[in-house]
C-alpha cells in the first residue's frame, strides 16, 4: 500500500488521505483482477462456451471496493493494513460514490445476478448504459423532497475501462429504401440517419474466491465528429455542432427516475434503442469472431435475457441485423431471434406497462417500426386462422393496437421464455394478466423467484453475524447458502441465541449513532427498530405504516402511562419527482416525526426517523440493525420484493401481506415465525373487478381511522397550516384504491402481537434464527442456478 500511495500520489503512507487510500487499494485490487479478467475471457473464447447476456436499463451496483476485496480474498488484509496505520476502513471505502445506475429493486436484482453468475462460474455478462447522472440525490428541506443531480463520475471511477476500439454506430431517424435484387429478394438501405457512437466502458464482475471475472459493459453515447473538425469552419457551424454533440451525449446523460411507472418520453425510447442496438451488434460481432458457427446455430451459443420490457426492442433489432446486414430471410431470422431472447416480467401494474406511441417509434426508428409491424401482422394472421376462439380478443393481444406499440406483447411473442419473479406473480400472469398468451404459449411461461446475493447482503454487510454463524455451522454456507438451514439445530440453543441477540444490539447501536450523526435524533437502542425502506409508492403503503404511528401517538396522548415497548420507526424512500401523492407521504412522515419526537407526553416511547437519500450504501447500514421488516404492499401488487429477503437474512422478522415473495418466506418458516395480515390477492382482485368495498364505511365506523383522517384533513399535524387534504381526498373520494383503511385493523392487531412477541426474548430470537436458517433459498445463487439450467442452458466454466 505504501508503494501504491507513493507511485500514485507521490506521498508517504502517513500523509495519505482517506481518498488517496481508496484509490491505492482500488488499484491493488485492479492489479489482482485484471489478469484474471483476461484469463476468464480467454477461457470462454477458447472453449466456445455458451454465454448469457443480461440486458438491463439499470444496474444498481452500489460501491464496489469492499465487495471486490471480499470476493478476491483481500478484505481481511486490507482492513488489517488500514487499522494498523490508524485508519477506519469504513471511512476509506466511503470515498467511492454509489453507482446509482438504477431506481430500486429491478436494478439491484441485475447487480445481484451479476455477482451470482460470476461466483457460480457461469459465463454471463451485463449490458447497460453508462449514465453520467444516476438516480437523483434526495435532500429533505422542511419535509419536502428536493432532487439534486447525482454526478457520480465527477472524479475518476477506478473500475471502468474505456474500450474505444469496440465502439459501434447507432442510427436514428432517416428514411428506409427498398431495392429488389436479381434473385427477387428485397434489400433495405437507410438514408440520412442521425448517427451516434456507442462507446463501451467495461467493469469487472469479480466472482467469489474463484478467479472468474465477468464483464458489465456500459455504453456511453458520443458524437461521431470531433470538435477539431470544426476549428476552421464558420462559428455558426461550430455552435451548431456543439448543440448537436450535446443532444447526442444526452442519450446516456441521465437515468429516468421513475420506478414502476412508465413515461412516454422520446429520449427514454432513444436510450432503450441505444442500449439494445449497441448490445446486439456487439453480441453478433462476438459470435462471428469468436464462435464462427453458422448463424442458424446462434441459440446454441448465446442467450439474451431482457430485464423487463425496457430492452424489448432487442427483438426487432436482432431481426434487422440478421436480415439487412446478414441477408437472412424472415423465417430464418425469426427462428434465431425467437430462440435466443428470453423475457422477465416484473410487474402487472397497468401504469408500468410500456406502450409507445406508434408515430414516435415510426419517426425515431423507421426500419425497426417496419419490422415490428410485420411481426404483428404475422402474429395476428396466425391468431385469426389458427385460433378462431381468440378472434374477439385480438385487439387485446395485437402488438400494435390503438395507435400504440405494446412492448410486453412484443416481448412475449418474440421470446422463448417468459418468467415472473415470484410464484404468486407468475400465477397472476398466467391466470389473469396474460391468460390468453398463456393459452397460446403455455410452455413459454415459467417462474423464477428473485433472490439477493447473500455475499453482499449478509457476509459483507453483517460481519458480526457472519462470524457467529460460521462459529456454529462452519463457513460452507458462504458458497452453499442452503446450508444455513443447519442453524435450525441451534434455534433453541440459549447461548447461540444470546450471541445473535448481542450482534443485533451492536448493529443497532451502530445505526443509532449513524442516525444521530445524520439527523440529530437520539434513539433508544433497546427499542424495536421497525423499518420500511424502499421506493415510495402508493402500492407499497408507507401510508399504512405512518397511520400506525399516528394511532400509537393518539393512544399515548390519551393515556401517557400506556405500557408500550419503545419503538423506533425508520423510513427511507425516494419518490419519483413527478409523483405528487408520494411526496405528500414523505411530508406526512416528516410532520409526524417532528411532533412525535418532541412531545414530552410520549416520554421517548416513539421515535420516527426518515433517513434521506436511500440507496444501496444506506441499505447496507440499516438492514443488519432491523428488528421488523415492513413488507406491507397491497396484495397482488408487489411482484416479488427483494428487500424482504435481505432483511430476513439478517434476522429481521417480517410484518407482511400475502404478496410477492413474502408468501414463499411464510411457506418456509411457517406462520409462527412471521407476522402476516390483511387482504389476500384474490380478495383484492375481486374487489377491483366486482366492487363491494367502500372506504367511507370504515371511516364511519372505526373511531381510530376517523380520528386519523380528520387530523390529516384539519391540519392538526402541523402548527403552520400543514394539512394533508390530498391524502384525505384520495382515500375517501377515490375509495382508497390501495385498501389502506381495509387493512388498518388487522395491521394494528398484528403489531400488538409483534409487541408481545418482542417481550419474550427467547421466543423472539428463536423466530429470528429460524428466518436466517431458511433464508438460503433467497440467495440469488439459487435463482441464477434456475435461470442457467431451465432457461439459458449454460454450463459452469470449470465444473
Ligand atoms: C433491495 C433494494 C431495493 C428493493 O427493495 P424492495 O423492498 O424490494 O422494494 C430498492 N432500493 C435499494 C437501494 C435496495 O437495496
Give tens-digit pLDDT for 145-177: 999 999 999 999 999 999 999 999 999 999 999
- CA dist 564 and 557 (Å) reads 12
Instruction: Kindly state if the Cβ of 660 falls inside 6 Å of ligand 1.
Output: no
147 or 179: whose pLDDT is higher? 147
Q: What atom of ligand 1 comes closest to residue 62's alpha carbon?
A: 13
- Burial letters for 391-425: b for 16+ Cβ neighbours within 10 Å, e otherwise? eeeeeebbbbbeebbbbbbbbbbbbbbbbbbbbbb
Give the separation between CA 782 and CA 779, rounded to whole angstroms. 6
pLDDT of 260-303, one tens digit each?
A: 889 999 999 999 999 999 999 999 999 999 999 999 999 999 99
Residue 233 in this model has a pLDDT that exceeds 70: no
Grid cell digits, residue 21: 487510500
Integer Cα distance of 210 and 781 in angstroms? 15
Q: Which atom of ligand 1 is nearest to the CA of 646?
A: 1
Residue 187 has pLDDT above 80, yes or no: yes
User: Is position 467 annotated as part of the catalytic site?
Assistant: no
Expressed in angstroms and rounded, the spacing between residue 614 Cα and the centre of ligand 1 is 9
- C-alpha cell belonging to residue 658: 400475502
For 322-347, write each residue's pLDDT tens digit. Answer: 999 999 999 999 999 999 999 999 99
Ligand 1 test: best mutation among 63, 102, 108, 640, most atoms within 8 Å of CB?
Answer: 108
Contact 241, 227 (CB under 8 A): yes
**Digit-coded pLDDT (tens) for 547-576:** 999 999 999 999 999 999 999 999 999 999
Give 10's pLDDT tier (boundaries 50, 70, 90): confident
Whether 572 and 533 have beta carbons less than 8 Å apart is answered as yes
Q: Tell me if residue 492 is catalytic.
A: no
Q: What is the mean pLDDT of residues 690-719?
A: 92
pLDDT at 9 over 80: no
Cβ atoms 794, 124 nearer than 8 A: yes
Alpha-carbon distance 207 to 209, whole Å? Answer: 6
pLDDT tens for each residue of 370-409: 999 999 999 999 999 999 999 999 999 999 999 999 999 9
Taking 60 as the threshold, does the pLDDT of residue 799 lie above it? no
How many whole angstroms separate alpha carbon 137 and alpha carbon 151? 9
For residue 788, give the nearest of 776, 772, 799 by alpha carbon.
799
Contact assessment for residue 193 and residue 206, using Cβ atoms and an 8 Å cutoff: no
Question: How sure is the predictor about 84, in pLDDT bands with cuts at 50, 70 and 90?
Answer: very high
CATH number at 48-63+98-450+785-792: 3.40.50.2000
Output the CA–CA distances (angstroms, integers) from residue 784 to 52, 114, 120, 305, 456, in the order listed. Answer: 11, 9, 9, 12, 16
Q: Whose CA is nearest to atom 3 of ligand 1?
A: 105
Fold category of 459-778 in CATH? Rossmann fold (3.40.50)
**Residue to probe by mutation, ligand 1, list 105, 349, 542, most atoms within 8 Å of CB:** 105
- Closest residue by Cα to residue 452 from 632, 641, 721, 728: 641
Ligand 1 atom closest to Cα of residue 533: 7
Q: Are 95 and 139 in contact (CB under 8 A)?
A: no
**How many Å lie between the centroid of ligand 1 and the Cα of residue 533?**
7
Q: Give DSSP secondary structure letters for 89-154.
A: HHHHHTTSPPEEES-SHHHHHHHHHHHHHHHTT--EEEEEE--SBEEEEEEEETTEEEEEEE-TTS
Q: Is 108 in the pocket of ligand 1 (CB under 6 A)?
A: yes
d(CA 56, CA 306): 6
Report whether 208 contacts 455 (CB < 8 A). Answer: yes
Name the residue of 106, 113, 619, 640 to mutate for ligand 1: max ligand atoms within 8 A of Cβ.
619
540 flagged as catalytic: yes
- The residue from 63, 286, 540, 751 that is catalytic is 540
Residue nearest to atom 8 of ligand 1 (CA): 641
- From the CA of 576, how far away is ligand 1's center (Å)? 15
Q: Are 269 and 308 in contact (CB under 8 A)?
A: no
**587 in active site:** no
- Residue-range domain boundaries for the chain: 1-47+64-97, 48-63+98-450+785-792, 459-778
Q: Each residue of 606-627: pLDDT tens digit?
A: 999 999 999 999 999 999 999 9
Helices 703-714 & 725-733 angle (0-180, nearest 10): 140
d(CA 440, CA 631): 34
Amino acid at each position: 500500500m505504501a508503494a501504491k500511495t507513493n507511485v500514485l500520489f507521490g506521498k508517504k503512507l502517513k500523509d495519505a488521505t482517506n481518498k488517496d487510500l481508496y484509490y491505492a487499494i482500488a488499484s491493488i485490487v485492479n492489479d489482482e483482477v485484471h489478469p484474471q479478467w483476461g484469463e476468464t475471457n480467454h477461457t470462454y473464447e477458447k472453449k466456445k462456451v455458451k454465454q448469457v447476456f443480461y440486458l438491463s436499463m439499470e444496474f444498481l451496483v452500489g460501491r464496489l471496493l469492499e465487495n471486490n476485496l471480499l470476493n478476491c480474498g483481500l478484505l481481511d488484509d486490507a482492513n488489517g493494513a488500514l487499522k494498523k496505520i490508524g485508519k477506519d476502513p469504513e471511512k476509506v471505502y466511503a470515498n467511492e460514490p454509489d453507482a446509482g445506475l438504477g431506481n430500486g429493486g429491478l436494478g439491484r436484482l441485475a447487480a445481484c445476478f451479476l455477482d451470482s453468475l460470476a461466483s457460480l462460474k457461469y459465463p454471463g455478462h451485463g449490458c447497460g448504459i453508462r449514465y453520467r447522472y444516476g438516480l437523483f440525490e434526495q435532500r429533505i428541506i422542511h419535509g419536502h423532497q428536493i432532487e439534486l443531480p447525482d454526478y457520480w463520475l465527477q472524479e475518476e471511477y477506478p473500475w471502468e475501462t474505456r474500450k474505444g476500439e469496440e465502439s459501434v454506430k447507432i442510427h436514428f431517424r432517416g428514411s428506409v429504401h427498398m431495392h429488389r435484387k436479381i434473385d427477387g429478394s428485397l434489400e433495405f438501405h437507410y438514408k440520412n440517419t442521425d448517427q451516434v457512437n456507442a462507446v463501451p466502458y467495461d467493469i469487472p464482475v469479480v466472482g467469489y474466491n474463484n478467479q472468474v471475472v465477468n464483464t458489465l459493459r456500459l455504453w456511453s453515447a458520443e458524437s461521431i465528429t470531433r470538435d477539431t473538425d470544426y476549428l476552421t469552419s464558420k462559428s455558426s457551424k461550430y455552435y451548431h455542432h456543439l448543440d448537436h454533440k450535446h443532444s447526442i451525449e444526452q442519450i446516456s446523460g441521465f437515468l429516468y427516475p421513475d420506478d414502476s411507472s412508465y413515461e412516454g418520453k422520446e429520449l427514454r425510447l432513444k436510450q432503450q434503442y441505444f442500449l439494445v442496438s449497441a448490445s446486439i451488434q456487439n453480441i453478433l460481432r462476438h459470435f462471428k469472431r469468436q464462435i464462427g458457427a453458422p448463424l442458424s446455430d446462434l441459440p446454441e451459443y448465446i442467450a439474451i435475457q431482457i430485464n423487463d420490457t425496457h430492452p424489448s426492442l432487442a427483438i426487432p433489432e436482432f431481426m434487422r441485423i440478421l436480415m439487412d446486414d446478414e441477408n437472412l430471410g424472415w423465417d430464418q431470422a425469426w427462428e434465431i431471434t425467437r430462440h435466443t431472447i428470453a423475457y422477465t416480467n416484473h410487474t402487472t401494474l397497468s401504469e408500468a406497462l410500456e406502450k409507445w406511441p406508434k408515430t414516435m417509434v415510426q419517426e425515431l426508428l423507421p426500419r425497426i417500426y417496419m419490422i415490428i409491424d410485420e411481426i404483428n401482422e404475422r402474429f395476428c394472421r396466425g391468431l385469426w386462422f389458427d385460433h378462431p376462439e381468440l378472434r374477439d380478443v385480438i385487439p387485446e393481444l395485437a402488438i400494435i393496437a390503438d395507435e400504440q406499440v405494446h412492448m410486453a406483447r412484443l416481448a412475449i411473442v418474440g421470446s422463448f421464455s417468459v418468467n415472473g419473479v415470484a410464484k404468486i406473480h407468475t400465477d397472476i400472469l398466467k391466470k389473469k394478466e396474460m391468460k390468453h398468451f398463456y393459452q397460446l404459449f403455455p410452455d413459454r411461461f415459467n417462474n423464477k423467484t428473485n433472490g439477493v446475493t447473500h455475499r453482499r447482503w449478509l457476509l459483507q454487510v453483517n460481519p458480526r453475524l457472519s462470524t457467529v454463524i460460521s462459529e456454529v455451522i462452519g463457513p460452507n454456507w458462504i458458497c452453499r447458502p442452503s446450508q444455513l438451514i443447519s442453524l435450525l439445530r441451534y434455534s433453541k440453543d440459549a447461548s447461540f441465541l444470546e450471541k445473535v441477540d448481542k450482534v443485533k444490539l451492536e448493529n443497532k447501536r451502530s445505526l443509532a449513532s449513524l442516525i444521530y450523526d445524520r439527523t440529530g435524533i437520539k434513539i433508544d437502542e433497546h427499542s424495536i427498530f421497525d423499518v420500511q425502506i424502499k421506493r415510495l409508492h402508493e402500492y407499497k403503503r408507507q401510508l399504512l405504516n405512518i397511520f400506525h404511528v399516528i394511532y400509537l401517538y393518539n393512544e399515548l396522548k390519551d393515556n401517557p402511562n400506556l405500557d408500550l415497548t419503545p419503538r423506533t420507526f425508520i423510513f427511507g424512500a425516494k419518490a419519483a419527482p413527478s409523483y405528487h401523492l408520494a411526496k405528500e407521504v414523505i411530508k406526512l412522515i416528516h410532520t409526524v416525526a417532528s411532533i412525535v419526537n418532541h412531545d414530552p407526553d410520549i416520554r421517548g416511547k416513539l421515535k420516527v426517523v426518515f433517513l434521506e437519500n436511500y440507496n444501496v450504501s444506506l441499505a447496507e447500514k440499516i438492514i443488519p440493525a432491523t428488528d421488523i421488516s415492513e413488507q406491507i404492499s397491497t396484495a397482488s401488487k408487489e411482484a416479488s420484493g427483494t428487500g424482504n429477503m435481505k432483511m430476513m437474512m439478517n434476522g429481521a422478522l417480517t410484518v407482511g401481506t400475502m404478496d410477492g415473495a413474502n408468501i414463499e418466506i411464510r411457506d418456509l418458516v411457517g406462520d409462527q415465525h412471521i407476522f402476516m395480515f390483511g387482504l389476500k390477492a384474490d380478495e383484492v382482485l375481486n374487489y377491483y373487478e366486482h366492487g363491494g368495498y367502500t372506504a367511507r364505511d370504515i371511516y364511519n365506523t372505526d373511531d381510530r381511522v376517523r380520528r386519523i383522517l380528520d387530523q390529516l384533513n384539519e391540519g392538526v399535524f402541523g402548527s403552520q397550516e400543514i394539512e394533508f387534504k390530498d391524502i384525505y381526498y384520495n382515500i375517501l373520494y377515490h375509495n382508497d384504491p390501495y385498501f389502506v383503511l381495509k387493512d388498518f385493523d388487522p395491521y394494528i392487531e398484528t403489531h400488538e402481537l409483534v409487541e408481545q412477541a418482542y417481550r419474550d426474548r427467547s421466543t423472539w430470537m428463536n423466530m429470528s434464527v429460524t428466518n436466517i436458517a431458511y433464508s438460503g433459498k433467497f440467495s440469488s445463487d439459487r435463482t441464477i442456478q434456475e435461470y442457467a439450467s431451465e432457461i439459458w442452458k449454460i454450463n459452469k466454466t470449470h465444473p
